[in-house]
Chains A and B, each alone.
Chain A
Amino acid sequence: MRALTWHGTHDVRVDTVDDPEIINPRDAIIKVTSTAICGSDLHLYDGVIPGLKSGDILGHEFMGEVVETGSKSTLQKGQRVIVPFTISCGGCFHCNVQQYSACENSNPAEKQDMSAALYGQPMAGLFGYSHLTGGYSGGQAEYVRVPFSDVGPLVIPDHLEDDKVLFLTDILPTGWMAAENADIQPDDTVAVWGCGPVGLFAIQSAIAMGAAKVIAIDHYPHRLELARKLGAEIVNFRETHVLEALMEMSGGLGVDAVIDAVGMEAHGFAVDNMLEVVKQKVGIGADRAHALREAITAVRFGGKISIPGVYGGLTDKFPTGALMEKGIQLKTGQTHVQKYTRPLLEKIEDGSLDTTFLISHRLPLEDAPRGYKCFHDQQDSWTKVVLKPGMEKQA
């Protein structure tokens, strides 16, 4: 089959590789019809996430048709399914309390040591990511082996086309959980750093949850315009002092809830960020945490912080003082996708959520390297790339 493989920083290629096979009884094989490039794929592209090997197949947002099932799979050939990026067994303690992204059984035993050393306990298995999270082959391919196919995949009704439901695999639940983690109350003012896909969906979700005012912070005019269309007020950090603006826009109180949808590769020329760019370049596992620092400063005393943005390592100059003194509520984490897929599918079906506005480009799988480069270099106009393995390559 053809698949998008990682070979090094800014080096991804479409290669011919072996087709996947059923290995375990609960597996299924999915023929991919749509798969997206995620903002967190760009962290892999930039080489700032450890534990990738040359030849790894990337991609964790994918859907398609069931073409093969193991003896214990509950799927049937021919069904259309979306597949959550988190691999969850459904049988462990964490799955039982719906903390699916902390599944104890999906990361192979021999792959658990590195993340356990970093974080105290091992991470769960994720598709198309680092070997810290299992080294599972991803969905930017023609076929994918899906473990625990009786737990994760959700069957999609035929009348809903791919573009309407594809984002149930990751970014829509991630945006939704980000807003849920900010514990939004009806009269809250909410600030969201980053108007990438997750930030935009967090804005959409916060508004759906009844936030009185949502303020979006970014520097890409087009992305800020998308945020404004969703109903947010916007702040361009290239033109405006963010902290000052947020104090004014929250009437001098500070904002009730903040959402860091930026993560470890913050942009900008603030002093802390420039130092951290250097540290990341020399490869010492450093996170660039400018957005998070700013969010902690901007939130009101007794306010709420939600971090859907990806961090992987350590950061310096972390404002522990503000964190403690302000009496903040902090919620973080990889998304428990399986918890959200059904209720969010209902919202898509009844028309209360539409996510198709985000898609700026649809490309054949063969064009995936160009998709990565443009999504990376032209973030203003390339807001979301969907790859279609069945689509003919353009001349």
Chain B
Amino acid sequence: MMSHDDQGSGFGAAAGIGLALGAAALGAFLSSRPRGERRKDWHGDDAPGFTQRRSFGKYDVVGRSVTIRKPRHELYAFWRSFQNLPQVMENLESVRPSGDGRSVWTIKAPGGTSVEVETEIAREVENELIAWRSVEGSQIDTEGRVTFEDAPGGRGTRVGLIIAYDPPGGEIGRAIAKLFLREPAVQARHDLKRFKMLMETGEIATSVRRKDQTRAAQQNSGQEYA
């Protein structure tokens, strides 16, 4: 486990979560200061670690923030019921509880296949933070965290989503995922936007003209959404 010396970041307090899986990656990108390879010319800045121009070893790290004009507790409550997430997460087929506070996430993978990831809650602070990680033996080594903080100026809540994962199939798997537009960075961005839409407007925007052209209808019939 890495040492964590980032006192300034709101994420710093929770750095101890990822013990077994993806810990190195998550810890590093949460910090706004690179670890280990610290350079002499590095002075550190206040940007989130995942915006750095550096890589995190074998882990891919996806981070994104969005401001939602709703109080923290509403957003937290939606997210805490993981079964809600397939409404906004395009690649998430289903989430079902598997006992002991664990749940099984069924995620679409390239080529019409799917993978299952069993996760456990690593840490949660009511109305502030939910962190999860895959349990040992899962098909994908991943962990993630969503944070909720009051946005300045009464603008609602700033929601931060960070996911670290070891892409299945390594570099090749990553390339295939991009080919099928299932690249996690893009997906996370779209998913957060859909979450925002659902919370702020009660619906998810679409420009289709017919019910049979909607995302849900096309997915049920096995077609790729255009």
Contact = CB atoms under 8 A, between A and B. Distances in A.
Given A93-B69, A96-B69, A109-B190, A23 B200 contact: no
A106 B209 contact: no
Interface string B127-166: 0000000000000000000000000000110000000000
Given A93-B69, A96-B69, A25 B202 contact: yes
Interface stretch (B15-23, B27-35, B191-199): B191-199
Interface string A104-129: 11111111110000000000010000
Contact of A23 (B69, B194, B196, B211): B211
B209 A26 contact: no
Given A91-B69, A93-B69, A23 B186 contact: no
Interface in B199-215: 200-211, 214
Interface string B161-175: 000000000000000
A24 B206 contact: yes
A23 B206 CA distance: 8
Contact of B201 (A96, A105, A108, A136): A105
A179 interface: no
A246 to B, nearest CB: 42
A109 B208 CA distance: 13
A326 interface: no
A302 B122 CA distance: 58
A25 B202 CA distance: 8
Given A21-B209, A113-B186, A137-B207, A89 B201 contact: yes
B202 A109 contact: no
A90 B214 CA distance: 23
A105 B210 contact: no
A18 interface: yes
Nearest to B191: A109
B214 A23 contact: yes
A20 interface: yes
Contacts of B106: none
Contact of A91 (B186, B191, B200, B210): B200
Contact of B207 (A18, A90, A96, A136): A136
B192 to A, nearest CB: 8
Nearest to B203: A24
Given A23-B214, A26-B202, A92 B207 contact: no
B193 A112 contact: yes
B209 A108 contact: no
Contacts of A109: 189-191, 193-194, 197, 204-205
Interface residues of A, number: 32
A125 B205 contact: yes
A92 B193 CA distance: 12
A134 B207 CA distance: 6
A23 B208 contact: yes
A148 B197 CA distance: 12
B9 interface: no
Contacts of B210: 18, 20-21, 23
Identify which of B196, B197, B210 gathers the most chain A CB atoms within 10 Å of its CB.
Answer: B197
A105 B189 CA distance: 13
A393 interface: no
A108 B203 contact: no
A91 B204 CA distance: 13
B87 interface: no
A93 B157 CA distance: 11
Nearest to A107: B205
B196 A110 contact: no
Contact of A105 (B190, B205, B209): B205
11 contacts: A20-B209, A21-B210, A21-B211, A23-B208, A23-B211, A104-B196, A105-B196, A105-B200, A108-B204, A109-B191, A112-B190
Closest 10 pairs (CB-CB, A-B): A109-B193, A91-B200, A24-B203, A109-B190, A20-B209, A136-B207, A89-B201, A134-B207, A105-B197, A135-B207
Interface of B: 67, 69, 155-156, 186, 189-191, 193-194, 196-197, 200-211, 214, 225
Interface of A: 18, 20-21, 23-26, 72, 89-93, 96, 104-113, 125, 134-137, 145, 147-148
Given A108-B205, A109-B197, 7 more contacts: A23-B206, A24-B206, A92-B69, A109-B189, A109-B194, A134-B205, A137-B209
